Chains A and B, each alone.
Chain A
Amino acid sequence: EPEVTQTPSHQVTQMGQEVILRCVPISNHLYFYWYRQILGQKVEFLVSFYNNEISEKSEIFDDQFSVERPDGSNFTLKIRSTKLEDSAMYFCASSLQGGSSYNSPLHFGNGTRLTVT
Chain B
Amino acid sequence: QQQVKQSPQSLIVQKGGIPIINCAYENTAFDYFPWYQQFPGKGPALLIAIRPDVSEKKEGRFTISFNKSAKQFSLHIMDSQPGDSATYFCAARLGAASKLTFGTGTRLQVTL
Interface residues of A (CB under 8 A from B): 4, 33, 41-45, 48, 55-56, 58, 91, 93, 97-102, 105-111
User: Whole-angstrom distance between the alpha carbons of A42 and B100 in the complex?
Assistant: 12
Question: Which B residues are in CB contact (< 8 Å) with A109?
Answer: 43
Cβ A99 vs Cβ B105 within 8 A:
no
Q: Is the interface of B mostly helix, strand, loop or mixed?
A: loop
Q: A43-B44, A105-B46, A108-B44 are in contact. Are A100 and B32 (CB under 8 A)?
A: yes
Question: Which A residues are in CB contact (< 8 Å) with B83?
Answer: none
Interface centre among B32, B43, B45, B100 (most CB of A within 10 A): B43
User: Whole-angstrom distance between the alpha carbons of A33 and B44 in the complex?
Assistant: 13
Interface residues of B in 55-112 (CB under 8 A from A): 89, 93, 95-105
Question: Which A residues are in CB contact (< 8 Å) with B44?
Answer: 43, 91, 108
Cβ A4 vs Cβ B43 within 8 A:
yes
Interface residues of B (CB under 8 A from A): 32, 34, 36, 41-46, 49, 51, 89, 93, 95-105
